[in-house]
Amino acid sequence: MEEKTYLKWYNKIGYGSGDIAGNVVYALLSAFVMIFLTDTVGMNAGIVGTLIAVSKLFDGVSDIFFGSMIDKTHSKMGKARPWMFYGYFGCAICLVAIFVIPADISAFAQYAWFFIAYTLLNAGFYTANNIAYSALTALITKNNHERVQMGSIRFMFAFGTSMLIQTITVGCVAFFGGGASAWRTVAIIYAIVGVVSNTISVMSVKELTPEELAEGETKNEDVQEEKYSLIDAFKLLVHNKYYLMICGSYILMQVYSATLNMGIYYMTYVLKNANLLGVFSWAINIPMILGLLFTPALVAKFQGMYRLNFYGYTLGTVGRLGVLIAGYMGSVPLMLACTAIAAIGMSPLQGDMNALIATCSEYTYLTTGKRVDGTMYSCTSLGTKIGGGIGTALAGWLLATSGYVGGAAEQSASCMNMLHIMYLWIPMIINLLITLILTRLNVEKANEELRQRIE
């Protein structure tokens, strides 16, 4: 029997454009905030890394809190859309605030300014916006093929935006005269772009009613639906082993991305050309986008997401091993080729991640009778912020440990060795860990077995 369809092509495109807004924030921060703070503002990389790590202590609670609030929201706009819409205005303000740290205040005040703006952005406004955006996958359609399409389209916008920002930002800062004022101008432009794209995305879709969501669902009659608290929501998450696997994978994926985004240091001091960050961004994002185009068809061909994701990340790990070998050989063309191979292998998991989380949410519904779509999608925001934060913080700590001197023309041998570890070794190891997790992440099979048992 053919699944009912809920979305037109313009709904899917409109929804996907929302990741322009998310990546305006994420790509700018993950790729450039550290080098802005160390080389323009003059902050210590180790202290900045520590502040970012401390900030992440607030994220776990805020993710589950906002996910639970979305589940309990009832408005004319639906459950998730109001949080997505209003949350982004705070994102835009905080993003600009990070890049307007006053030069005439004390060093302590500068660190405090950054910490407050960064924490408000990540633990507050970005959390509300991003969880709501991800939760819409389960709230605007029940068709799994459409969910995979939405994920693929969404991440095509995400990687396209990330690629563009990594390609043009260095040049834009130079165009506006360099220094702190140029960074401020760039941040304001990006924030405006984000507000516009987020608004378009919110207005492009409409959430299904609770009755439509429940229509045709197989429900376990042995469990009763009831209201649940924030603590109950947390218990539901930690008792779903597939949620924990997805959350762990997502965090590792974002650590991976943040580590590669710190490649601005590797390009500047090892390859002696900061503009190569944009070239490597193309080598990552163009193959990733092409892979996302074929992900829905590949999911159908492999009759599910499990084998496709595992085989894909196996290829991704082999590709990053090739980058490592090419890096020590000093061959930039070979590094670029292996980077592209790794990106192709990693693309299916990016494309079907939202559908995978929706399937994981169905696992909770089948086992407990509770629908916690918003709370379940907290793993995307949690993974983005925790993973991105850990990656950026780790880069700061490693740079400080290696004796990095901000703005210096040449770095020490210990720093150069550390840059190789950061850009070549860590991404390869992360891909290997994700591949190992994916060997156990067969939630589709688990759901099918549960349905058969219930019926």
Higher local confidence (pLDDT), 424 or 406: 424
Apex CA 438: angle with CA 432 and CA 443, to 5°? 170
Q: Give the chain's mean pLDDT.
A: 86
Instruction: Give the model's confidence band at 212: pLDDT under 50 very low, under 70 low, under 90 confident, else very high.
Output: confident
Instruction: Give the model's confidence band at 378: pLDDT under 50 very low, under 70 low, under 90 confident, else very high.
Output: low
For residues 378 and 234, the answer to whether their CB atoms sit within 8 Å is no
Q: What is the pLDDT of residues 269-305, one digit of tens each?
A: 899 888 888 899 889 988 988 888 888 888 888 888 9
For residues 66 and 378, the answer to whether their CB atoms sit within 8 Å is yes
Q: How far is residue 269 from each of residues 150, 166, 273, 400, measured CA to CA in Å? A: 39, 17, 8, 15
Q: What is the pLDDT of residues 180-190, one digit of tens each?
A: 999 999 999 99
Q: Which two tokens stand for residue 276?
A: 């190569």
For residue 224, the model assigns a pLDDT of 46
List the chain domain ranges.
12-204+232-454
Judge whether residue 328 has pLDDT over 90. Answer: yes
Q: What is the pTM of this model?
A: 0.70
CATH superfamily placement of domain 12-204+232-454? MFS general substrate transporter like domains (1.20.1250.20)
Q: Which of 233, 181, 198 is nearest to 40 (CA)?
A: 181
Q: Please report where in the chains the tokens 């955006």 appear, as a residue.
A: 133
Dist. CA 384–CA 154, nearest whole Å:
15
Q: What is the pLDDT of residues 80-126, one digit of tens each?
A: 999 999 999 999 999 999 999 998 899 999 999 999 999 999 888 99
Q: Which of 79, 95, 286, 277 is nearest to 194 (CA)?
A: 95
Instruction: Give the model's confidence band at 225: pLDDT under 50 very low, under 70 low, under 90 confident, else very high.
Output: very low
